[in-house]
Amino acid sequence: MARWEPNAPERLSKAALELFAERGYENTTVIDIAQRAGLTKSTFFRHFQDKREVLFGASTLADLLGGAVAAAPETAAPLEAVACAMDAAGREAFTAERREFSAQRRAVIGAHPELQEREALKGLALTAAMTDALRRRGVPEVTASVAAELGALAMKIAYSRWIDGTADDFGNAARRALDEVRDAVGS
């Protein structure tokens, strides 16, 4: 693969997951990942701080969720604004093309406590992004926090169903999970 080809971050992520599956996370180096992707070590570091970041990326998902909450119709109630964020995640982040990558990613993370901790921190950042966006919409602090937490729980449920193949579309799975969470809270 030529070095000038586009999508270096995607190529690096794909190469990393392949190597993590073949050799294990601990036995894979940044140089290994760059070579597998047909890129240089310096190109790797232009896109990622370290090999963990290949699995977690930048704050793009948090930005996506926060932006979608902010862009929800003015009349949207807090949970509906969160549902709009789930729809955006389904359209832009959790697409059919990303399902296999996401399943492999989950397997790698599940095998390493250090990565599980990082995944939990990422989840907190996603919740914070939705909370902040709701507060900027004028939603009171407690309501914004509760709506974002319920949304994060629904997102976790939907993500699992989507990866496992029990849901074809992430956005629909997230809305169903949000309804289930809402019903559980109400009972």
Query: For every one of its 187 residues, what pLDDT tens digit does the chain have, with 9 covering 90 and above?
Result: 445 567 888 899 999 999 998 998 999 999 999 999 999 999 999 999 999 888 887 568 999 999 999 999 999 999 999 999 999 999 998 988 889 889 999 999 999 898 999 999 999 999 999 999 999 999 999 999 999 999 999 999 999 999 998 888 999 999 999 999 988 987 6
Q: Specify the 3-state DSSP secondary structure of 17.
A: helix
Cα–Cα distance for residue pair 166/144, rounded to 1 Å: 30
In a domain, 45, yes or no: yes
The answer to whether residues 98 and 135 belong to one domain is yes
Q: Are residues 67 and 148 in the same domain?
A: yes
Per the structure, the count of domains in the chain is 2
pTM of structure: 0.86
Give the chain's radius of gyration (CA, Å). Answer: 18
Provide CB contacts within 8 A for 81, sequence distance 6+. Answer: 69, 72, 133, 134, 137, 147
Determine contact, residues 142/51, Cβ cutoff 8 Å. Answer: no
Distance CA 162, CA 105 (A): 13
Instruction: Give the number of other Cβ atoms within 10 Å of residue 110's Cβ.
Output: 11
Tell me the helix, strand and coil percentages in the chain, rounded to 5: 75, 0, 25
For residue 128, give every residue at least 6 positions away whose Cβ sits within 8 Å of its Cβ, in sequence order, or none. 62, 148
| 34 in Cβ contact with 40 (< 8 Å) | yes
Cα–Cα distance measured from residue 54 to residue 14, given in angstroms and rounded to the nearest whole number: 9
For residues 63 and 49, membership in a common domain is answered with no
Return the number of other C-beta atoms located less than 10 Å from residue 168's C-beta: 11
Note whether 92 and 17 are same-domain residues: no
Is 81 domain-assigned?
yes
The CATH number that applies at residue 23 is: 1.10.10.60
Domain ranges, residue 132: 59-186
